Amino acid sequence: MTSSFDFGHARNINSIENDIKEMETLFPIDKYGERDFEEDMVQENGCYLNFCIVCGHDFVGNKHRMICKLCVEKEVEE
């Protein structure tokens, strides 16, 4: 499958929106896991695959997060 992504420097908003739509088609993300921080996804650096230092599972969230959502919620409950 060929891609129409434009990686040039001069890009407009329509080009970016088209790239996002194509990425969503190629790599659909329709559900986040219980460990993922869905609220981080709107941030520029909010969609990183991280490693939880508490439980050792992978999760998606801000690149500076070190603990998954599930472990954070367990800590708050205790």
- pLDDT tens for 18-62 read 887 777 776 656 677 899 998 888 888 888 999 999 999 999 999
Predicted local distance difference test score (pLDDT) of residue 1: 52
Q: Is the dihedral of CA 14, 18, 32, 65 positive or negative?
A: negative
DSSP 35: T
Contact at 8 Å (CB) between 58 and 51? yes
- Cα distances (angstroms) measured from residue 33 to each of 36, 51, 64: 5, 14, 18
> What's the pLDDT score for residue 5?
54
Whether the predicted pLDDT of 64 surpasses 90: yes
